[in-house]
Amino acid sequence: MDTLVVCIAAAFSGLLFLGVAWLTRAGYWRVAAALMSGMVAAAFAFGLDRAAFEFGWWTYGKMETHAPVAAYATTALWFGGGLGLVGWRMIRNWAGAGEALYFIGFVALGLGRDYALSATGMGFTWGEGYLPVAISAAGWLVIAFLVQLGMQLLVGSVDSDPLAPERLPSLEPAAWPFEADAPRASFVTRD
């Protein structure tokens, strides 16, 4: 059962990544850089999970040292690639405020994922005290940083590449009745 859930989550993460790549209007190189940075993030998460097992910060149920390997696909595709592209657009649009919101939101989503896994009994178990939660938050912050750093090293700064063309048809807004011209009489008067 756990394997099925992990595989469904990995497939759903792939769909989320494709959707975010399309909606953020990222160019091909930016999408490729986000995916490669996501793989680096997954490798970091694997190492962090291994260290967490050794120090007793958290465990993944039946797995002895780390989560199922397929679970790191969700880290690479969604947390690394997908949220990395969302962060790229946030930083591009709102500069410092977008960057702060991105990092805070990323850590909140990561911790939310960890708490959801812990609450559902899917095999994730926290260690004793608050140190495991702090380590997990720091780990999610490092993952967010690695993704943005990787994209900037591979493609350039957030505004170095143009946005892809608009992918949704743009509709002209309809005039409201109050903005329309005054009605004209369409009948002919006789003298």
Residue 81 lies in a domain: yes
HEC secondary structure over 2-46: HHHHHHHHHHHHHHHHHHHHHHCCCCHHHHHHHHHHHHHHHHHHH
Question: 127 in a domain, yes or no?
Answer: yes
Percent of the chain with pLDDT over 90: 63
Task: Give me the helix-helix angle, 2-23 and 83-120, nearest 10°.
Answer: 160
- Structural domains of the chain, count: 1
Structure tokens at 142: 């490092």
Q: Specify the pLDDT at position 1.
A: 42
End-to-end CA distance of the chain: 88
| Per-residue confidence (pLDDT) for residue 14, from 0 to 100 | 93
> Is residue 178 scored above 60 in pLDDT?
no
pLDDT in tens, 77-119: 999 999 999 999 999 999 999 999 999 999 999 999 999 988 9
Going by pLDDT thresholds of 50, 70 and 90, the confidence category of residue 176 is low
Whether 74 is in a domain gets the answer yes
- Distance CA(79)–CA(67), nearest Å, equals 16
In a domain, 136, yes or no: yes
pLDDT tens readout for residues 22-47: 999 999 999 999 999 999 999 999 99
Report yes or no on 170 lying in a domain: no
Task: Compute the mean pLDDT over every residue in the chain, rounded to the nearest whole number.
Answer: 87
C-alpha–C-alpha distance, residues 145 and 37, integer Å: 10
Considering the domain boundaries, does residue 83 fall inside one? yes
Tokens matching residue 8: 């469904």
**180 lies in a domain?**
no
- Segment 173-182 mean pLDDT: 57
Tell me the pLDDT tens digit for each residue of 5-18: 788 988 999 999 99
Beta strands in 40-101 (DSSP E): 58-60
Give the pLDDT score at 28.
92
- The model carries a pTM of 0.82
Q: Is residue 164 in some structural domain? A: no
**124 contact partners, CB below 8 Å, separation of at least 6:** 58, 59, 60, 61, 67, 114, 117, 118
Question: Model confidence over 110-169: pLDDT tens digits?
Answer: 999 999 988 987 778 899 999 999 999 999 999 999 999 999 999 999 888 888 877 666
| pLDDT score at 129 | 93
Q: In 38-168, at which residue ranges do the beta strands (DSSP E only) sit?
A: 58-60, 124-126
Return the closest-CA partner of residue 82 out of 8, 10, 7, 13. 13
d(CA 108, CA 116): 12
| Domain span including residue 116 | 2-154
